[in-house]
Amino acid sequence: MKSLFIRCSEETYSLAHALAKAENRSLNKQIIHMIHSLANAKNVEVKLEEPKQEVEEVKKSFTESETTVGLSRLAEIGKQETADQ
């Protein structure tokens, strides 16, 4: 989900609210509706990029044994040696 911030005059803001109220929509939904309606009327299409699969590729690069070894080493408790010993 992306955010869109719009700066506009008080008159434009009031017009947008009036349109939304007449259509029984929230202001956000009305603006989204208007964008989609205009895009449809003008035959505008956008091709969205596929989400990157980087996390899945990293997961696949680790084998089960590598994961097990890493976790067992993390859980190991070692005795610290001091200079006196």
Q: What is the DSSP letter of 42?
A: T
Degrees, nearest 5: CA angle 35-39-42: 140
pLDDT at 35: 96
Coil/strand/helix, residue 8: coil
pLDDT at 50: 76
Q: Write the pLDDT tens digit of every residue in 8-60.
A: 999 999 999 999 999 999 999 999 999 999 999 999 999 988 776 666 666 66
Single pTM value for the model: 0.55
Q: What are the extents of the domains in the chain? A: 10-41
